[in-house]
C-alpha cells in the first residue's frame, strides 16, 4: 500500500505543481518554485497573445514554454516533494521536449521511472501529449487554488473550450504490481493477465469540451467528448451535453478555505502560505486514509446533493476480432453460447405476444405488463435491425439517450423509493442504438 500511496501523491502533485507553479514570488516569500529550480523569471516567456474581454486571467506566464524550463520544473517538483514528505522520492520524471504558447502546448517523451531497484523500472511513458484552447497553457486559476484555496466566482470562464490528445500511453502494470509484491498472473491467471497487459500499452486518448453559462437556467452547460483507444483492441467513447450550477464548486472551495485558512482550525494557514506543497501532500494522504471528512464537506457545501441536468449522452464501445476471440476463449464458451441464444430470438421479428411471453420467462411481473409492454415492444420493433446486425457480427455498439427538455438527475436517487419514476424517464427520452459503430 505504501507504493500506491506514493503513486497517488506523485500524480496529484504533478497536476497541481507542474500545472500551477508559483512564478510571482511576492516580497514576503523566500524562494518560489522557479527560484528553487534555478530559473530566472527573465527566462520565462510571458503570455503575448491577444485576449478577449471574457478572459478572467489578467496577467499570466505559461505553464509550458520550452524543454529547458519544463525539465527544471520537474526537478524542482522532486525537490519540493522530498522536502514536503521528508522522504526521498523513489521516482524520476523526465521529458524529451516541450513547447507552449498561450493557447496550446505539447510535451514529448514523458516518462516516470522507479529508481530504487538494481535496474530502474519504467512505470509510465507517453510519446506525446498536446492541448489547445483558450487559456489552456496558463495557470492562474489552478495556482490560486494551490497556493490560497481560492476560487473566483466566475472561475468557469477561464476555459471556454479546449482539446487534448495523449498518444501512446504505456502503463507498466506488471512492474507496478511486482514493486508492490503482487502478481496479476497469480491473481487472475496467465490468459487474463496477458490481456490486461496488452490493454495497458499503446493507449491513445482524445478529449474535448466547450462550456457556456445559461443565465436563464443558472447553469454552466458543457458539451464534452472523450475517446480512449486501448492498443487497437478496444475503443471506448463517451460524449454528451449536461448542465450544472457552478456555484456549488465555488461554495465547496470556500468551505475548504474557511476550514484551513480563515478559521485555521487545524493550524494550516502558515503551512499553506510558506509550503503549499507540504499541505497538499498531507491533504491527499489524509483523504486516501479517510475520505469521509472530505465527503462531509462536499455534502455540507451542496456539491454532492446538487442536481445536474442531462440533455444528451452517448456511450460507445468497439473491439477487434482478435479481442473478441480472446474474450470468447477466456469465458469458457459462455460468450458463444450467449450469441447462439440471441440469434435464435433475432432470426425473425417476434410479435407483441411473443415478446410478452419472453418477458415473463425472464421474470418480469405479468401484472405490470400494461405499463411497460407497449414501450418495450416499441423499442424492440425500432431496434430489431440493429440488434440483428450486432448478433451476427458483434464488434461494438453505441447507445445514445436524448432528453429534449433535460433530465434532472436527482430523479435517479428517487427510483428506489418509487420505481414507477423509471417510466417517467423513458417517456421523456429518445433512445437510439447503433450496431458496430466506427469509433
Over the stretch 18-54, which tens digit does the pLDDT of each residue have? 443 333 333 333 344 444 444 444 444 444 444 332 3
CA distance 267 to 275: 13
Domain boundary among 201, 228, 263: 201
171: nearest Cα among 205, 143, 213: 205
Q: Are 204 and 151 in contact (CB under 8 A)?
A: no
Whether 182 is covered by a domain: the verdict is yes
Domain that holds residue 387: 334-435
Percent of the chain at pLDDT > 70 equals: 85
The CB density around residue 297, as the number of other CB atoms within 10 Å, is 15
CA distance 11 to 82: 14
Q: What is the mean pLDDT of residues 333-348?
A: 90
- Helix, strand, coil % in the chain, rounded to nearest 5: 45, 25, 30
Whether 59 is covered by a domain: the verdict is yes
Grid cell 506488471 — which residue?
174
CA distance 16 to 143: 8
Report the SS3 class of residue 266: coil
Whether 379 is covered by a domain: the verdict is yes
Whether 108 is covered by a domain: the verdict is yes
Q: By mean pLDDT, which of 47-51, 56-60, 253-257, 338-342 is the weakest?
A: 56-60
Q: What is the rounded average pLDDT for all residues in the chain?
A: 82
CA distance 14 to 33: 13
DSSP annotation string for 107-137: EEEEEEEE-SSSS-EEEEEEEEEEEEETTTT
Judging by beta carbons within 10 Å of its beta carbon (0-12, 13-18, 19+), is residue 373 exposed, middle or buried? middle
Give the per-residue pLDDT at 366: 64
Instruction: Tell me the per-residue pLDDT of 214-241, one tens digit each, with 9 for 90 and over.
Output: 888 888 999 999 999 999 999 999 999 9
The residue that leads in pLDDT, 400 or 300, is: 400
Give the per-residue pLDDT at 433: 95
Percent of the chain at pLDDT > 90 equals: 41
Whether 292 is covered by a domain: the verdict is no
Instruction: Give whichever of 7-16, 216-225, 230-239, 340-349 has the largest mean pLDDT.
Output: 230-239
Instruction: Tell me the per-residue pLDDT of 144-195, one tens digit each, with 9 for 90 and over.
Output: 888 889 888 788 777 789 999 999 999 999 999 888 888 888 888 899 999 9
CA dihedral sign of residues 77, 139, 32, 145 = negative
Give the per-residue pLDDT at 208: 96
Q: Are 331 and 376 in contact (CB under 8 A)?
A: no
Whether 314 is covered by a domain: the verdict is no
Domain boundary among 151, 169, 201: 201
User: Length of the chain in residues, anyone?
Assistant: 439
How many Cα atoms are found within 13 Å in the side-chain-facing hemisphere of 79? 14
Whether 353 is covered by a domain: the verdict is yes
Give the per-residue pLDDT at 43: 44
Domain boundary among 160, 175, 201: 201
Whether 136 is covered by a domain: the verdict is yes
Query: How many structural domains compose the chain?
Result: 2
Q: Is the pTM of this model over 0.85?
A: no
Give the per-residue pLDDT at 242: 95
User: Does 70 score more than 70 pLDDT?
Assistant: yes
Phi and psi angles of residue 222, each rounded to the nearest 5 degrees, phi first:
-125, 135
User: Does 318 score more than 90 pLDDT?
Assistant: yes
Helix 292-300, helix 247-257: angle, nearest 10: 120
CA distance 130 to 166: 7
Amino acid at each position: 500500500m505504501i507504493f500506491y500511496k506514493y503513486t497517488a501523491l506523485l500524480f496529484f502533485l504533478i497536476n497541481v505543481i507542474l500545472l500551477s507553479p508559483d512564478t510571482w514570488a511576492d516580497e514576503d516569500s523566500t524562494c518560489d518554485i522557479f527560484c528553487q529550480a534555478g530559473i530566472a523569471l527573465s527566462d520565462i516567456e510571458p503570455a503575448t497573445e491577444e485576449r478577449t474581454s471574457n478572459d478572467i486571467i489578467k496577467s499570466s506566464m505559461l505553464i509550458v514554454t520550452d524543454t529547458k524550463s519544463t525539465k527544471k520544473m520537474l526537478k524542482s517538483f522532486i525537490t519540493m516533494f522530498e522536502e514536503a514528505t521528508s522522504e526521498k522520492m523513489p521516482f524520476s520524471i523526465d521529458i524529451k521536449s516541450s513547447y507552449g504558447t498561450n493557447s496550446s502546448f505539447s510535451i514529448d517523451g514523458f516518462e516516470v521511472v522507479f529508481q530504487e531497484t538494481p535496474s530502474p523500472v519504467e512505470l509510465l511513458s507517453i510519446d506525446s501529449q498536446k492541448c489547445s484552447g483558450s487559456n489552456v497553457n496558463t495557470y492562474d486559476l489552478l495556482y490560486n487554488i494551490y497556493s490560497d484555496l481560492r476560487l473566483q466566482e466566475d472561475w468557469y470562464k477561464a476555459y471556454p473550450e479546449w482539446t487534448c490528445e495523449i498518444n501512446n500511453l504505456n502503463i507498466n502494470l506488471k512492474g507496478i504490481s511486482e514493486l508492490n509484491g503482487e502478481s496479476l498472473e497469480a491473481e487472475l491467471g496467465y490468459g487474463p493477465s496477458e490481456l490486461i497487459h496488452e490493454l495497458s500499452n499503446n493507449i491513445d486518448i482524445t478529449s474535448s469540451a466547450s462550456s457556456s453559462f445559461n443565465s436563464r437556467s443558472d447553469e454552466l452547460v458543457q458539451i464534452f467528448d472523450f475517446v480512449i483507444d486501448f492498443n487497437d483492441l478496444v475503443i471506448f467513447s463517451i460524449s454528451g451535453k449536461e448542465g450544472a450550477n457552478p456555484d456549488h464548486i465555488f461554495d465547496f472551495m470556500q468551505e475548504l478555505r474557511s476550514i484551513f485558512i480563515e478559521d485555521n482550525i487545524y493550524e494550516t494557514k502558515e503551512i499553506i502560505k510558506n509550503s503549499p506543497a507540504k499541505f497538499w501532500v498531507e491533504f491527499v494522504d489524509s483523504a486516501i486514509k479517510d475520505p469521509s471528512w472530505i465527503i462531509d464537506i462536499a455534502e455540507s457545501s451542496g456539491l454532492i446533493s446538487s442536481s445536474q441536468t442531462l440533455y444528451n449522452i452517448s456511450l460507445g464501445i468497439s473491439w477487434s476480432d482478435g479481442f473478441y476471440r480472446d474474450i470468447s476463449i477466456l469465458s469458457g464458451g459462455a460468450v458463444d453460447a450467449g450469441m447462439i441464444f440471441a440469434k435464435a430470438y433475432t432470426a425473425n421479428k417476434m410479435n407483441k405476444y411473443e415478446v410478452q411471453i419472453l418477458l415473463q420467462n425472464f421474470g418480469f411481473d405479468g401484472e405490470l405488463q400494461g405499463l411497460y409492454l407497449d414501450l418495450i415492444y416499441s423499442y424492440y420493433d425500432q431496434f430489431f435491425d440493429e440488434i440483428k446486425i450486432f448478433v451476427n457480427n458483434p464488434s461494438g455498439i453505441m447507445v445514445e439517450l436524448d432528453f429534449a427538455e433535460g433530465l434532472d438527475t436527482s430523479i435517479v436517487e428517487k427510483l428506489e423509493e418509487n420505481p414507477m419514476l423509471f417510466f417517467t424517464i423513458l417517456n421523456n427520452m429518445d433512445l437510439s442504438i447503433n450496431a458496430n459503430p466506427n469509433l
